[in-house]
Structure 1
């Protein structure tokens, strides 16, 4: 099973539980992305080990091929000297090297297949990471918008707003009362009998003084 398939199964098994447990969707998304990033690092590390193993095996295969060529030369040399026994022994050693080389070729093929699987896994993981990051931004924006709308609706429909407006009404009534007192202080009621008589006496005094001033001015004119 590829690492990507294993990771996908892990996400499928855990994502519902994570959503149920998480009170902060943004935090949950960050956790999912972090796990995907860690898995990507793991896949790349495994791929790096496969590449190193492949290079080492190819170097070993090259040495075995050189060894086979060497045993072939030795077998030919032994035959040229009429040493068939030595030639046969050299060919046996060459066959051993050939068998080891064939085994290495099989292992190299397995490594190459594994590397292709890792490349596919890495490509899929990178695509999923890009998608997750894009969704992270979108979901974060939606979550923040929902929280803002919720607060606005709570403010408009909640008891705190009603309490505030009831206090406004109390303050308005107090303002009305204060204005009424101020208006009442400026109001004048009907005059009493004594006030009216006093005004008449004052008027007579003023009229008498006015007549005296007229008479004085008239006398001066003559």
Structure 2
């Protein structure tokens, strides 16, 4: 229990947070829930949740570019929401420390009031109880603010989960769109090869080569036919010579007889 000698000179201990709260009246203090609901982070998150991704992609001239922009916006919003949630967690911890400190202050002023009454100093006891009431009022205000911040934090956690779900959906859509684009490009190249000028030129070259091959084969066949006829003609000529030779032999033999 504190000494009576220092009771009159003692003033309540204020943390920086408590001093700031005490300077601002309850009417001027902005509710954290109201601040968040009207803030840009909530507005961006709300727009993302309300957006119909399929409709956006159907209306887009360049779906691949649109999905990249959507994913970028979601990633930036997710970073902002997480940062704001981290600040809310820090504020909640500070408020809890302040509430604990206010409980200690109330207990301290209760002890001081009891000391003053034990020494028949009712004036000091009243002053101590007045200070204790101030601390109690501040604690009630901070407790209300703490409840609001915890509600806001739960909202952040829910929004983070929703954003992550939307982001996974968008990335899946992006992969599907990329696959469709790649397939379309491949089909277009195949059609261009089948119906394009380069393909026609290639087929023309093939036809020219085929004609050259046919000509070479025909020439070879023609050369083969000429050689065969020459050989047959030579055989026929040799056969005629042989017949004439035999006839001459027979004539000479007849003369000799």
Q: Same fold (TM over 0.5)?
A: yes
Cα deviation for residue 59 of structure 1 reads: 0.9
Q: How does 1:52-201 map to 2 (within 5 A)?
A: 52-188=90-226, 198-199=237-238
Other-structure match for 2:74 = 36
d(CA) in 2 for partners of 1:198 and 1:6?
109
Cα deviation for residue 67 of structure 1 reads: 0.6
Cα deviation for residue 61 of structure 1 reads: 0.6
Q: TM-score normalised to the size of structure 2?
A: 0.66
Q: How does 1:12-23 map to 2 (within 5 A)?
A: 20=61
Aligned pair in 2 of structure 1 residues 199, 91: CA closer, same or farther (>3 Å)?
Answer: same
Cα deviation for residue 123 of structure 1 reads: 0.9
Aligned pair in 2 of structure 1 residues 66, 207: CA closer, same or farther (>3 Å)?
Answer: farther
Aligned pair in 2 of structure 1 residues 205, 7: CA closer, same or farther (>3 Å)?
Answer: farther
Worse-superposed segment, 155-164 or 137-146:
137-146
Aligned pair in 2 of structure 1 residues 154, 196: CA closer, same or farther (>3 Å)?
Answer: closer
Q: Are the aligned partners of 2:45 and 2:159 in contact in 1 as well (CA < 8 Å)?
A: no
Cα deviation for residue 57 of structure 1 reads: 0.8
Q: Are the aligned partners of 2:109 and 2:132 in contact in 1 as well (CA < 8 Å)?
A: yes
Cα deviation for residue 54 of structure 1 reads: 0.3
> Where does the alignment leave 5 or more consecutive residues of structure 1 unmatched?
212-222
Aligned pair in 2 of structure 1 residues 69, 199: CA closer, same or farther (>3 Å)?
Answer: same
d(CA) in 2 for partners of 1:104 and 1:34?
38
Q: Secondary structure at the match of 2:226?
A: coil
Structure number with higher helix proportion: 1
Q: Are the aligned partners of 2:102 and 2:136 in contact in 1 as well (CA < 8 Å)?
A: yes
Aligned pair in 2 of structure 1 residues 170, 76: CA closer, same or farther (>3 Å)?
Answer: same
Q: Are the aligned partners of 1:67 and 1:94 in contact in 2 as well (CA < 8 Å)?
A: yes
Q: TM-score normalised to the size of structure 1?
A: 0.75
